[in-house]
Amino acid sequence: MLELRSLSCRYGAVQAVSEANLRVDAGEIVTLIGANGAGKSTTLKAIAGLVRPEFGDILFEGTSIARMPAHQIAAAGISLVPEGRAIFANLSVLENLEMGGYLRKPAEIRSGLEHVFALFPRLQERLQQNSGTLSGGEQQMLAIGRALMAKPRLLLLDEPSLGIAPLLVKAIYAGIDAINREGVTVLVVEQNAHLALKHSRRAYVLETGRIVMEGPSAELANEPRVKEAYLGEG
């Protein structure tokens, strides 16, 4: 469904991503793990059209999207839940969700809302609440819900667990698993390798812009190098 071919991204003198090759098949949850500054967010931004690749290509369902504007990539079926969530803090929960569905018809917005409420009932209980007053975990649920309102086929998640209380992290990942079971393909970026490897089928490890390891998540979780550097073991 998605293929990065030798993707390179640079900010001035900073080479953020170097010749990354990565593949996501339809129906998978794939994770990209890596330390601070490894280039994880840049990779997701490049896929979503928010950062222009320096070299290489990005194929979505066989079509190059590397030079498409972001709104066109979104319309093609890719939604990004950015790092830090980027919800509209001055709008209500309902208004944020409606923004996510701006390309859809009223009937689709209604069914989209029902879908989001089934995944994250806490949002339905807080529909009129100002989003800036939600807890961190609730804001993350809202950011995911808003992305789902566009009815993506590929969902990109940037560190959905960052800074969130463990109980809500559990609810968020249960939601992500449910979204995937309903047929949405997921590429999730995490610093929390424990979580990411547990909830994915395959994984890639990014170090200073380069993919240094890849494989089935269960196998990578047993690699000495992954254990030591990312799982705090060994």
Residues that bind ligand ATP (CB under 6 A): 11, 14, 16, 34, 36-42, 83, 191
| Residue 152 interaction partner, one of Mg ion, ligand ATP, none, beta carbon < 5-8 Å per kind | none
Q: Which does 175 bind (CB under 5 to 8 A by kind): ligand ATP, Mg ion, none?
A: none
Q: Are 137 and 165 in contact (CB under 8 A)?
A: yes
| Contact partner, 180, from Mg ion, ligand ATP, none, Cβ < 5-8 Å per class | none
> Considering beta carbons, is residue 84 or 132 the nearer one to ligand ATP?
84
57 binds, among ligand ATP, Mg ion, none (CB under 5 to 8 A by kind): none
> Which residues would be at the binding site for Mg ion (CB under 5 A)?
40-41, 83
Distance in Å, CB of 160 to ligand ATP, minimum = 12
**Smaller CB distance to ligand ATP: residue 126 or 192?**
192
Classify each residue of 42-69 as buried b or exposed e, where b means 16 or more C-beta atoms within 10 Å of its C-beta.
bbbbbbbbebebeebebebeeeebbebe
Which CB, 48 or 123, lies closer to ligand ATP? 48
Half-sphere exposure of 155 (CA within 13 A, CB side): 30
Q: Which is nearer to ligand ATP, 161 or 217 (CB)?
A: 161
Which of 120/192 has CB closer to ligand ATP?
A: 192
User: From the CB of 143, what's the least distance to Mg ion, in Å?
Assistant: 14
Minimum CB separation of residue 144 from ligand ATP in Å reads 18
Task: Return the one option of Mg ion, ligand ATP, none that residue 18 interacts with (CB less than 5 to 8 A, by type).
Answer: none
CA distances from 162 to 23, 157, 168, 230 (A): 24, 11, 11, 15
